[in-house]
């Protein structure tokens, strides 16, 4: 006779096996990408194009999110601190929060949707329409042609986008503090500089680079794993966005434990 | 190829395939849909890795080749895909130029000449600047053929070159395959389930059935075959092959 917990335990077991298998496949994929790196002749000329596509084209959405985040941060800080803490701490909170957390994480999550989905859908479609096989027959290593330039572009451009997002977020908070709060520009800057350390910027950039690596490699991995038709491309795209978003949050916690 | 086996999970597609392809010939591989013809073609250039067996091209063990040696071998092979597999973000010109740019042996002017020559051979001159989405299915197949012949291959592999085409375009593609074999002196392997095409273009025909080569011979020999499975397929009579299968 089957116990009532057989079904849920079975499901957990199958999920664990699927996770381990997926992890193994990703490991193999990563090793193959590493081996494709020396094919500079293939990927170098595609790098600039991918940097523009992944980075420059992502700026508007990243800046939009950052500007409104800065505004809300300033208003919430003022609301929280009323009467208890000097108001110039609004500058401290906006600066620290944008640099250490919200700048890189919100940008990373937005780009997981925009960039990760785009990569997975594009490569997945190429997989199911045999364009990747066609690359192979023309003596191109598809990993060198499709994956390496995207991953390198992600690692380079995510920090660039995050720098702009951090700056605009702080600027948004600054303008809000001057116009909607009873705070002068000098007081905001005083708060901003109070606990600032150059390492805050490094920390923001390290996180952004790791998010760039995660989003692009996960997007490429799920794109390459696609088999079937349009439905499979849709499934790969969804998986890429979900896994990349989760990985960003895991990396966020990891860097906090490792570096702070 | 000797005793080549390929399975996808539980499903065995190629049970044990042994086949010899002779220099300069055009060999048609026929068989029902889902019989593993395309899988067989892909194993020839290791687009799919067989689970067992041996594949030899020009004396080289394809399955044992290192990465660079495999790409060097593939430079001698032109592959025409079932749905052309053109790169949809590139123009017709850039699609055909891809293999030439990879070899690195030609300057841009020479590449241009070769691309235009390849497009002329498949009667697609004037379409250089079009995107694949701006041409018809038959034209895409022709551009796919131009891309395959541009690098001057020794071998041409065709995966269902006439599937989904109307009878007139099918005849045009068949004619192109014959012309390529004659003008370029290449060895061709054509996967098809279209018997009319197979008779028209092939010097030999091999039939794949249930993961094995069921028959190999000339078009005349296959017409005279007494094997019910073979007759059932070429005459389009499913009742014939049932017991013998």
**pLDDT tens figures, B24-82:** 999 999 998 888 999 999 999 999 999 999 999 999 999 999 988 999 999 999 999 99
Task: Please identify, among B152, B186, B205, the residue that sits at the C-terminal boundary of a domain.
Answer: B152
> Residue range B10-33: average pLDDT?
93
CA angle B50, A225, A54 (to 5 degrees): 135
Sheet holding B212-217, edge to edge: B77-80, B155-159, B187-191, B26-30, B204-209, B212-217
pLDDT, residue B80, reads 95
For testing the chain A interface, which of B46, B85, B145, B153 should be mutated: the one with the most A CBs within 10 Å?
Answer: B85
| Same structural domain, B140 and B45 | no
Contact B102 A131 (CB under 8 A): no
Tell me the C-alpha distance between B84 and B95, whole Å: 11
Q: Is the pLDDT of residue B245 over 50?
A: no
User: Residue A9 — very low, low, confident or very high, per pLDDT cuts 50/70/90?
Assistant: confident
Q: Is the pLDDT of residue B244 over 60?
A: no
Tell me the C-alpha distance between A1 and B35, whole Å: 43
Is there a contact between A63 and A70 (Cβ–Cβ < 8 Å)?
Answer: no
> Residue range B10-29: average pLDDT?
94
Min Cα–Cα distance to chain A from B99, Å: 5
Tell me the C-alpha distance between B71 and A141, whole Å: 8
| Same structural domain, B48 and B12 | yes
| Same structural domain, B54 and B96 | no
Cα dihedral sign for B206, B209, B210, B213? negative
Q: Is the pLDDT of residue B242 over 80?
A: no
Whether ipTM tops 0.85, in short, is yes
pLDDT, residue A15, reads 87
Q: How many domains does chain B have?
A: 2
With an 8 Å Cβ cutoff, is B236 touching chain A? no
What pTM does this model have? 0.89
| Same structural domain, B181 and B231 | yes
| Same structural domain, B46 and B117 | no
**CATH number, position B221:** 3.40.50.300
Tell me the C-alpha distance between A90 and A97, whole Å: 10
Partners of B78 on chain A (C-beta within 8 Å) are 137
> Residue range A81-104: average pLDDT?
91
| Same structural domain, B178 and B232 | yes
Contact A129 B82 (CB under 8 A): no
Tell me the C-alpha distance between A74 and A152, whole Å: 35
Mean pLDDT, all residues of chain B: 92
pLDDT, residue B241, reads 63
- In this complex, the residue of B77, B87, B148 whose CB is nearest that of residue A131 is B87
SS3 A43: helix
Q: Is the pLDDT of residue A162 over 80?
A: yes
Task: Please identify, among B121, B152, B183, the residue that sits at the C-terminal boundary of a domain.
Answer: B152
Q: Tens of pLDDT along A193-234? A: 998 999 999 999 999 999 999 999 999 999 999 998 899 999
| Same structural domain, B16 and B110 | no
pLDDT, residue A169, reads 97
Here the tokens at position A190 are 């005083």
Per-domain boundaries in chain A: 48-259
Tell me the C-alpha distance between B81 and B97, whole Å: 17
Q: Around Cβ A34, how many Cβ atoms within 10 Å?
A: 11
Percent of chain B with pLDDT over 70: 98
SS3 B65: coil
Domain residues for B172? 2-76+155-244
pLDDT, residue B11, reads 92
| Same structural domain, B89 and B133 | yes
Task: Please identify, among B109, B125, B152, the residue that sits at the C-terminal boundary of a domain.
Answer: B152
Alpha-helix residue ranges (DSSP H) falling in chain A:
6-36, 40-54, 59-81, 89-97, 103-111, 117-128, 131-137, 142, 148-180, 185-194, 198-225, 230-259
Here the tokens at position B141 are 């197949």
């Amino acid at each position: 006779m089957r116990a009532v917990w057989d079904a849920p335990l079975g499901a957990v077991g199958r999920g664990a096996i699927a996770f381990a298998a997926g992890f193994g496949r990703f490991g193999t994929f990563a090793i193959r990408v590493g081996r494709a790196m020396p094919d500079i002749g293939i990927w170098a000329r595609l790098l600039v194009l991918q940097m523009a596509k992944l980075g420059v084209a992502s700026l508007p959405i990243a800046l939009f999110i950052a500007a409104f985040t800065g505004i809300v941060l300033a208003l919430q800080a003022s609301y929280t601190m009323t009467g208890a803490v000097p108001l110039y701490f609004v500058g401290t909170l906006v600066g620290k929060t944008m640099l250490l957390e919200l700048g890189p994480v919100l940008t990373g999550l937005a780009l997981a949707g925009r960039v990760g989905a785009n990569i997975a859908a594009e490569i997945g479609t190429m997989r199911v329409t045999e364009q990747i096989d066609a690359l192979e027959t023309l003596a191109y290593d598809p990993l060198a042609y499709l994956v390496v330039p995207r991953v390198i572009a992600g690692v380079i451009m995510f920090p660039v986008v995050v720098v702009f997002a951090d700056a605009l977020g702080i600027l948004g908070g600054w303008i809000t503090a001057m116009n909607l709060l009873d705070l002068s520009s000098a007081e905001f800057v005083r708060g901003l500089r109070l606990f600032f350390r150059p390492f805050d910027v490094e920390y923001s950039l390290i996180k952004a680079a790791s998010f760039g690596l995660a989003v692009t490699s996960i997007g490429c991995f799920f794109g390459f794993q696609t088999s079937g038709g349009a439905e499979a491309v849709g499934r790969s795209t969804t998986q890429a966005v979900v896994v990349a978003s989760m990985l960003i949050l895991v990396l966020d916690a990891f860097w906090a434990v490792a570096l702070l | 190829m000797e005793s080549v086996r390929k399975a996808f999970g539980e499903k065995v597609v190629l049970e044990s395939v042994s086949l010899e392809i002779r220099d300069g010939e055009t060999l048609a591989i026929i068989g029902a849909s889902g019989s593993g013809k395309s899988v067989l073609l892909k194993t020839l250039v290791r687009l799919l890795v067989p689970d067992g067996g041996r594949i030899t091209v020009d004396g080289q063990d394809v399955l044992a080749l290192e990465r660079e040696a495999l790409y060097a071998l593939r430079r001698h092979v032109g592959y025409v895909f079932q749905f052309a597999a053109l790169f949809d973000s590139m123009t017709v010109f850039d699609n055909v130029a891809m293999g030439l740019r990879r070899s690195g042996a030609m300057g841009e002017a020479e590449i241009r000449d070769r691309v235009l020559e390849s497009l002329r051979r498949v009667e697609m001159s004037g379409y250089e600047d079009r995107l694949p989405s701006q041409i018809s299915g038959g034209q895409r197949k022709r551009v796919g053929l131009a891309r395959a012949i541009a690098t001057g291959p020794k071998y041409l592999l065709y995966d269902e070159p006439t599937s989904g085409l109307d009878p007139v375009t099918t005849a045009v593609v068949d004619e192109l395959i014959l012309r390529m074999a004659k003008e370029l002196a290449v060895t061709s392997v054509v996967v098809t389930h279209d018997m009319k095409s197979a008779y028209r273009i092939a010097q030999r025909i091999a039939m794949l059935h249930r993961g094995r080569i069921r028959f190999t011979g000339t078009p005349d020999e296959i017409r005279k075959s007494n094997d019910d499975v073979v007759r059932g397929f070429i005459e389009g009579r499913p009742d014939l092959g049932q017991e013998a299968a």
